[in-house]
Amino acid sequence: MESSIVITKPTDNKLTVQKSSFLGSLLGAVTGTAGAVGGAAVQAGQAATGAAIGISGTIGGAAVQAGQAVAGAAVGIGGAIGGAAFQATQIVGQALAIVGNNPQLQAAIKSLNQDWLNPLIEQVDLVKAEAAVRKLQQEHPNQQPVQIAHHLMLEKAVLVGGTGLASSFVPGQAAAMFVVDWAATSALSVELVYQIAAAYGMDLKDCDRRAEAVAIFGLGVGGKTAIKAGLGLLRNLPVAGAVIGASSNAVMIYALGYAACQFYEAKQNPLTLEATLVDAQLESEQYLEAAISQEKIMDQILVHIVLAGNPDKSWKDILLELQAANLSPASIDAITANIKSLPSLETLLEQLNSDFAVPLLAQCQKIAHLDGVITPAEAKVIGSINKKFNYDIAAIK
């Protein structure tokens, strides 16, 4: 069963989103088209996510290494790029023009740090990005652009869930198990935005895509809610070796994917683009609020896998170590609140949506493999996730 995603535009020009899996239940709650996340919503998305996972092939091992190589090439740009090669100021000006006179969107774009974003946009491999989209379109000839975008988002979520750990952490620290490399995953996020543009038939070589990418970042993760999701690095120039919580990174992937879909759906009617983006910005903020709740669940499940592999550590020990990582404040608060009574894995899995289970499972696999041995306790945690979401564990090794 493939993901069923439909976006319609009623006469008031406000996007109505009806989607299965995480995008359906979460965004449906935002737009009033679906019920709460979890329970039946999770069950409804299981088959769709399983099908989407299948398009990635072997995700771990060589696939993750390939994703790291792509990201490494994207971020290996070194210092500043000359003005003749990339006029960052001009691009920002174009992005501001796209969103019109909406103060909130203008502020969101201005809040982004262009010093790291613009070079990454410049370094996207356009040929590779478009080829990946065309391959998906051939495999799913009857799917709409937003459905292709969902496949792309799931693929990226798995890749970033398995990217390398920060070398600055001491091996064995719980903090190191929760984080991913900021630079590498940011490059993959920018690539995702371009791939979604290709899914909507946009010419990736057109210079307008650069300004649109900046606008989409502002739309998706430029608001105040992004700080709650642990995305504060978006406002600063990350230092070498900067890290981001793996769960926060999953939030960024899905938020950017949703924002890109909103943008290119709105772009189909230029006359109402500005008005539609005003609604889209509000929905993006609500989307992030809902995604943060999933992020907290994901991080608490990651505590279970860390405890399974480190029986000498306590819930309190892990909390102290996590304070050294860029975990979202919401996750730290949730872990602190439950420090005396760890929620059961079964309880947390009941609240987890299937799309977030994708990067979670990749992260659990990575944590379990850190010492080269998967303990019975670690295998039990991974097996519980697989059982809940009907995943073939071999498919993500």
Question: pLDDT tens for residues 324-372?
Answer: 666 778 888 888 888 778 899 999 999 999 889 988 998 888 888 877 8
Which of 6-10, 133-137, 199-203 is least confident? Answer: 6-10
Predicted local confidence at residue 288, as pLDDT: 85
Burial class (CB in 10 A: 0-12, 13-18, 19+), 59: buried
Say which range, 35-39, 59-63, 152-156, 284-288, has the weakest mean pLDDT: 35-39
- Which of 239, 198, 192 lies closest to 217, judged by CA? 192
pLDDT, mean of residues 20-40? 38
C-alpha dihedral sign at 83, 84, 87, 90: positive
Annotate the chain with three-state secondary structure: CCCCEEEECCCCCCCEEEECHHHHHHHHHHHCCCCCCCCHHHHHHHHHHHHHHHCCCCCCCHHHHHHHHHHHHHHCCCCCCCCCCCCHHHHHHHHHHHCCCCHHHHHHHHHCCHHHHHHHHHCCCHHHHHHHHHHHHHHCCCCCHHHHHHHHHHHHHHHHHCCCCCCCCCCCCHHHHCEEEHHHHHHHHHHHHHHHHHHCCCCCCCCHHHHHHHHHHHHHHCCCHHHHCCCHHHHCCCCCCCEEEHHHHHHHHHHHHHHHHHHHHHHCCHHHHHHHHHHHHHHHHHHHHHHHHHHHHHHHHHHHHHHHHCCCCCHHHHHHHHCCCCCCHHHHHHHHHCCCCCCCHHHHHHHCCHHHHHHHHHHHHHHHCCCCCCCHHHHHHHHHHHHHHCCCHHHHC
**Which phi and psi (to 5°) does residue 393 adopt?**
-55, -35
User: pLDDT at position 377, please?
Assistant: 94
Residue 78 has a CB neighbour count (10 Å cut-off) of 7
pLDDT score for 91: 80
Say which residue, 151 or 38, is predicted with more confidence. Answer: 151
Q: Give the confidence band of 80 by pLDDT, cuts at 50, 70, 90.
A: very low
pLDDT at 228: 66
Question: What pLDDT band is residue 229 in, cutting at 50, 70 and 90?
Answer: low
Q: What is the mean pLDDT of residues 53-59?
A: 36
Cα separation values, 124 from 116, 118, 119, 161, Å? 13, 10, 9, 20
Report residue 87's pLDDT band, with 50, 70 and 90 as the boundaries: low
Average pLDDT of span 147-172: 74
**Between 290 and 145, residue with greater pLDDT:** 145
The residues near 337 (Cβ < 8 Å, ≥ 6 apart) are none
Taking the C-alpha atoms of residue 161 and residue 135, their distance in angstroms, rounded to an integer, is 23
Average of per-residue pLDDT values in the chain: 73
